[in-house]
Chain A
Amino acid sequence: EAGVAQSPRYKIIEKRQSVAFWCNPISGHATLYWYQQILGQGPKLLIQFQNNGVVDDSQLPKDRFSAERLKGVDSTLKIQPAKLEDSAVYLCASSPRPFRLAGSYEQYFGPGTRLTVT
């Protein structure tokens, strides 16, 4: 079974530029997550999708971050414009369990995209 795919693996941009990350979850997984992981910290949830609907985006900086999951499969996360503090690894994860089923968080993570904003 193929794992969660993410691209690009690395990205370097200047502040105020825009950037987009792509995620392809494991086939059949309805729930998809985007996390931001700053060096030395645990992952921070940015947004959670159930199929193509948003379940939780309370920690997404909506003035500059956006995400979509068209057709309930692939997802893209965009930052526009980027700030220095956005330098981090952006992780995508998927889960076979619907969010509303009893708080189970067995997630499968991709390798992440390391973003450096200069």
Chain B
Amino acid sequence: LAKTTQPISMDSYEGQEVNITCSHNNIATNDYITWYQQFPSQGPRFIIQGYKTKVTNEVASLFIPADRKSSTLSLPRVSLSDTAVYYCLVGDRRDTGRRALTFGSGTRLQVQP
């Protein structure tokens, strides 16, 4: 089963832009790429979802290259409250042809003042 890969941790300062990349070499053809944010003792929270090129909402942007084997979550001007773990979620293509929902290992973002 193919894995999704993310950096384990990242550090930033308030007001900076943060880019977190997820590698998903075996993404299923029709599947979207979805990103979640998780705070301690809470369930993950949906941030953004995209299929190709660029998607932007009020909290983040998502960049997806043409081959869709990776994606980059961009958080503009982070604040202390953005300190959390960020996960990407894709449907991996199995040898059977079925898809398997696979969360990445998560990137722990620490924002400092």
Please indicate whether A and B come from the same complex rather than being unrelated chains.
yes
Q: What is the 8 Å Cβ interface bit string for chain B, positions 73-113, against chain A (1 contact, 0 not)?
A: 00000000000000101110000001111111110000000
Residue B28 contacts which of A58, A103, A108, A111 (CB distance < 8 angstroms)? A103
Residues of B within 8 A of A107 (CB): 34, 44, 46
Q: Which range contains the number of B residues in contact with the other chain? A: 20 to 34
A110–B41 CA distance with the chains assembled, in angstroms: 11
Contact B34 A42 (CB under 8 A): no
Closest CB in chain A relative to B46 CB, distance in Å? 5
Residues of B within 8 A of A112 (CB): 41-43
Give the total number of A-B pairs whose CB atoms are below 8 A apart: 65
* Interfacial chain B residues near A103, Cβ < 8 Å: 28, 30-32, 91, 99
| A55: min CB distance to chain B, Å | 10
B-side contacts of A108, CB under 8 Å: 46
Interface hit among A14-22, A43-51, A67-75, A79-87 = A43-51
Q: Could you list which residues of chain B lie within 8 angstroms of chain A, going by C-beta atoms?
A: 28, 30-32, 34, 36, 41-46, 49, 87, 89-91, 98-106
